[in-house]
Chain A
Amino acid sequence: QKEVEQNSGPLSVPEGAIASLNCTYSDRGSQSFFWYRQYSGKSPELIMSIYSNGDKEDGRFTAQLNKASQYVSLLIRDSQPSDSATYLCAVKSTNAGKSTFGDGTTLTVKP
């Protein structure tokens, strides 16, 4: 079992729809959770971080964390073609200096 698993994708949604990206992790000691976006040919950039159970909203993006279920998700409302990218989930435990990344889910938003 991988430490961090994401939907294998690819995920395709129409413009204006809600895109839902999911991530599960195996280390119960994990404390910090991140979503990175990576456009084709570019390097990853952070879009959301979440540390507590519940929802965290930033514009059209909402991160959801459920530590009991070891699950973190990213919702993108009113999806735009410019949201088409690969989304990487990263998880970090308190005592580790490094984050573990999932393989990513590729999202395509069709006009």
Chain B
Amino acid sequence: DVKVTQSSRYLVKRTGEKVFLECVQDMDHENMFWYRQDPGLGLRLIYFSYDVKMKEKGDIPEGYSVSREKKERFSLILESASTNQTSMYLCASSFPPSEETQYFGPGTRLLVL
């Protein structure tokens, strides 16, 4: 079974702090994704990565950056957290082109005070 893990289930941070969200997958997947999910706004793509050291902006990259130094690990960084970044953050991975299903991690609920 594919397993996608995220470093924290719940996180509370203060405005202005630098926040790191970590995601690890164990199936040698090429693609990895970071989404945020908010009530009424659905699932919105922040960044994705095709391969190590590769990254592409998604629909809402402002205020975020990412790092993929190893194939299995994809990190989301909030350089200076703001209250409007309070959200559920979901990581996913997939293995194109033979397998396009995205496998999601359990999510990190981030509260920025």
Residues of A near any B CB (own CB < 8 A): 32, 34, 36, 42-46, 49, 88, 90, 92, 97-104
Contact = CB atoms under 8 A, between A and B. Distances in A.
Interface residues of B, number: 21
A102 B48 CA distance: 18
17 contacts: A34-B100, A34-B101, A34-B102, A43-B106, A45-B104, A46-B101, A88-B42, A88-B43, A90-B102, A92-B100, A97-B31, A97-B50, A97-B96, A98-B56, A102-B42, A103-B41, A103-B42
Describe A's contact surface by its main secondary structure.
Answer: strand
Interface in B6-62: 31, 33, 40-43, 45, 48, 50, 56, 58
A36 B102 CA distance: 9
Contacts, number: 47
Interface of B: 31, 33, 40-43, 45, 48, 50, 56, 58, 90, 96, 100-107
